Structure 1
Amino acid sequence: MILFFGIRPGNTTTINMRHIKCTHCNQNDTLSGESTPNFFHLFWIPLFRVSTTQIIRCNHCKKGYYKEDFTKEMQAAFEN
């Protein structure tokens, strides 16, 4: 019997972060965040979420922030 299983990404959601300053270039309203859930699947059917990848990018200086680099304001924008 053959089983097809693994981890695949789900749908990415994009958030525009208003009134948050980029710590690299000090520009306001230039940050956008992306959140992508990763699902465990069996026969290409997603069963449960394993993790979520969150990345914030500045549209002005192109700096990328990973979850461990988030400020309190950035983290609060993802929770809302």
Structure 2
Amino acid sequence: MILFFGTRPGKPETTTLLNSTCPYCQQQGTLTAVTQKNYFHLFWIKLFKISTNNYIECSHCKRLYYENEFTDEMNRELSRIKK
């Protein structure tokens, strides 16, 4: 019997942060938050979530901010949107 198993990323969920300013280029409304979940699969069927990756990208300067680099303004905007 052959088993096909492994990990695979899910579809990214994007949210635009309209009230946040990019700390690098100082542009407002250019930040996009991306959440991507990684799943364990068996025969290409998702069974359970393994991890979640969050990052924010500025569409003006193309700077990427990982979760440990989020500013207080970014965190407030994310928590306001997720409610």
Give the TM-score, by structure 2 length. 0.86
Matched, 1:21 2:21: yes
Tell me the residue number matched to 1:7.
7
SS of equivalent to 1:50: strand
**Kept after mapping to 1: 8 A contact 2:36/2:54:** yes
> How many angstroms apart in 2 are the aligned matches of 1:78 and 1:48?
24
Q: CA offsets, 1:1-59, max 9 Å, x none?
A: 22111110111111000110111011111101111111010111100101111121111
> How many angstroms apart in 2 are the aligned matches of 1:78 and 1:53?
14
**Residues 78 and 48 (structure 1 numbering): CA distance in 2 closer, same or farther, change over 3 Å?**
farther
Tell me the residue number matched to 1:74.
74
> How many angstroms apart in 2 are the aligned matches of 1:59 and 1:3?
42
Say how many residue pairs are matched.
80
Tell me the residue number matched to 2:34.
34
> How many angstroms apart in 1 are the aligned matches of 2:5 and 2:24?
41
Give the TM-score, by structure 1 length. 0.89
**Residues 5 and 28 (structure 1 numbering): CA distance in 2 closer, same or farther, change over 3 Å?**
same
Query: Which AA in structure 2 matches 1:54?
Result: N
Flag structure 1 segments of 5+ consecutive residues without an equivalent: none
